[in-house]
Amino acid sequence: MNRLYHRLYLTFLAITVLSLLVTALLARAFHEPRIPAARTLVPMARSLVCEVPGPCQGAEVQLLEAKARELDADVVVWDADGRLLFHAGHALAGPFSRGADGWQHGLHGPVWLTPLGDGRTLGLRERGHVGPHRPLFLPLLLALAVLMAIGLLPLSRSITRRLEQLAEGARLWGAGDLGHRVPVVGHDEIATLAERFNQTAAAIQALLAQERQMLAGASHELRSPLARIRMALELLADESDPVRRGELARRAAEDIAELDALVEELLLSARAQPGVPRRPTAEINLLALVREEAQTVGAEVTGEPLLLFCEGAMVRHMLRNLFANARLHGGGGAIRAEVRRIESQVVIAVEDDGPGVPESERERIFAPFYRLPGTRSLGDTGLGLGLALVRQVARYHAGDVAYIARQPTGSRFEVRLPVGPSATLSTA
């Protein structure tokens, strides 16, 4: 009996039985007898002339019998010793208390007893009347309780079966089956819990897949500069030409700088992951920050001065990646940046006049370590993390980034971040 559905079933059953018992007790306690027939028949019964001992006689007997048939009632009159003096319909036999006034239970059901004042007693039962002691009353209650008990078992089982599916899903998922999802049945709280479980499982599965992808990409990207550094060190040990030694040292320094950039971007990516504790934010002048980073690529900046509460170092790195991407893939053309506010969002846009991105690749370019096929130019030491970090930083600040194709050629990257109602700087 430790199973939840057993406890639920017994709880439902106890509530049902208790409700039926209370109903029966209330029906017994508050039953109002129907006595209009008694009020009509009592005066007629008092007028009966009866021999003692002996049955009642006279015209009053016929009148009382006719009235009993009219009211569809069984009528009986007993003397003080309980002997039958008159009856119309059933004799209403039963162990009745002498001199009783009110309901008594007889062999034919409940009987309404009224003393006639001369030792005689009138017994009355309206046919078809369901009194509080009708013989079928308790059996019907019992039958109803049995039916409800039978119906409550599948109900309680259906509730706990879904909980068991949740528990089994959590067990399988914890055992490593990250693709397992629990069925969502119905629209109640258990269904909502199942939906939340599936959403959480999908989010964690996606996060782990991203982490595996990041680890595999980082391992691949680290291997090449490390191999070049190892080779340069081996050559330096045997190289006597100062010029050649200087060239090897310069290349090793470039590889070390590439490693440093990769580690920095990996650390930034880790900080921008969901669930990582947030660092304190500060208020920055966004337009000034965009202009500062735009100087490194000679980009033209337009817009309005806006205040943004953010983690400044992360936003700076995001802007740096956007401008570096425009410089590498802009075909040597002009680069433009814009800062403006649209309702409750600030939009940071960076445009270039390059060949653009094919439609099939416009979402994939935001994946970590992904590079467009055949677009890597001379001097491009990018690791494929630039746009991925732009999206991570934007989402870290409850925003996002999107690629917008320009006509006839060119690319536009728009970062949208939420801002407060007092984000616009006064120019007075």
Cα–Cα dist 376/313, whole Å:
28
- Going from the C-alpha of 118 to that of each of 45, 46, 91, 264, 338, the distances in angstroms are 11, 8, 21, 113, 112
Are 45 and 83 members of one domain? Answer: yes
Query: What per-residue confidence (pLDDT) applies to 376?
Result: 52
Query: What per-residue confidence (pLDDT) applies to 17?
Result: 74
pTM to 2 decimal places: 0.50
Are 239 and 327 members of one domain? Answer: no
Could you tell me where the DSSP H helices lie in 121-188?
Answer: 137-174
Are 264 and 325 members of one domain? Answer: no
Cα–Cα dist 30/232, whole Å:
103
- Going from the C-alpha of 54 to that of each of 43, 87, 209, 257, the distances in angstroms are 20, 13, 103, 129
Tokens standing for 137? 């009353």
Query: Positive or negative CA dihedral for 112, 116, 117, 119?
Result: negative
Domain presence at residue 380: yes
Which residues span the domain enclosing 252? 203-271
Which residues, 6+ apart, have CB-to-CB distance to 397 below 8 Å?
310, 311, 314, 315, 417, 418
End position of a domain, from candidates 82, 105, 131: 131
End position of a domain, from candidates 244, 271, 298: 271
Asked if 401 and 391 count as a contact pair (C-beta separation under 8 A), the reply is yes
Query: What per-residue confidence (pLDDT) applies to 382?
Result: 54
- CA 116, distance to chain mean position in Å, is 71
What backbone phi and psi angles, to 5 degrees, belong to 373? -60, 130
CATH of the domain at 223: 1.10.287.130
Instruction: Quote the number of domains for the chain.
Output: 3
Tokens standing for 92? 């209403």
Are 324 and 405 members of one domain? Answer: yes
Domain presence at residue 373: yes
Query: What per-residue confidence (pLDDT) applies to 314?
Result: 86
Domain presence at residue 27: no
3 state DSSP class of 188: coil
The alpha carbons of the chain give a radius of gyration, in whole angstroms, of: 47
3 state DSSP class of 310: strand
Are 337 and 263 members of one domain? Answer: no
Query: What per-residue confidence (pLDDT) applies to 413?
Result: 93
Cα–Cα dist 92/105, whole Å:
10
Domain presence at residue 154: no
| Structural element, H or E, at residue 72 | none
Domain presence at residue 428: no
Tokens standing for 189? 């709280």
Query: What per-residue confidence (pLDDT) applies to 32?
Result: 45
Q: Which of 388, 386, 389, 415 is nearest to 402 (CA)?
A: 415
Query: What per-residue confidence (pLDDT) applies to 6?
Result: 66
Judge residue 314's burial from the number of C-beta atoms within 10 Å of its C-beta, 0-12 exposed, 13-18 middle, 19 or more buried: buried
Are 413 and 368 members of one domain? Answer: yes
Cα–Cα dist 392/370, whole Å:
15
Beta strand 345-352 pairing with 336-342: antiparallel
Nearest 5 degrees, angle CA 196-CA 389-CA 229? 130
CATH of the domain at 354: 3.30.565.10
Domain presence at residue 314: yes
| Structural element, H or E, at residue 184 | none
Are 212 and 263 members of one domain? Answer: yes
- Going from the C-alpha of 36 to that of each of 20, 74, 110, 126, the distances in angstroms are 30, 14, 16, 10
| Structural element, H or E, at residue 32 | none
Are 326 and 231 members of one domain? Answer: no
End position of a domain, from candidates 252, 271, 290: 271
Query: What per-residue confidence (pLDDT) applies to 1?
Result: 42
One-letter amino acid for residue 392 of the chain: Q
Are 50 and 113 members of one domain? Answer: yes
Are 207 and 314 members of one domain? Answer: no
Query: What per-residue confidence (pLDDT) applies to 30?
Result: 47
Residue where the block lists tokens 């009053």:
60
One-letter amino acid for residue 202 of the chain: A
Are 263 and 324 members of one domain? Answer: no
331-354 burial, b for 16+ CB within 10 Å, e for fewer? eeeebbbbbeeeeeebbbbbbbbb
Domain presence at residue 194: no
Domain presence at residue 16: no
Give, for all 428 residues of the chain, the pLDDT tens digit. 456 556 666 777 777 777 777 776 666 554 444 556 777 788 888 888 877 667 888 888 888 888 888 777 888 888 877 788 888 887 777 677 766 677 777 666 678 788 888 888 888 887 655 444 455 666 776 777 777 777 777 776 777 777 778 888 888 877 877 788 888 877 777 778 888 888 888 877 777 776 676 666 666 666 767 777 787 777 777 777 787 778 877 877 877 777 777 777 667 666 666 655 567 778 889 999 999 999 989 999 999 888 888 888 888 889 988 998 899 888 888 899 999 998 889 999 999 988 888 888 888 888 877 777 655 554 444 557 788 888 888 988 889 999 998 888 889 999 999 986 545 544 43
Are 49 and 119 members of one domain? Answer: yes
What backbone phi and psi angles, to 5 degrees, belong to 176? 115, -5
Tokens standing for 159? 């509730």
Cα–Cα dist 353/198, whole Å:
43
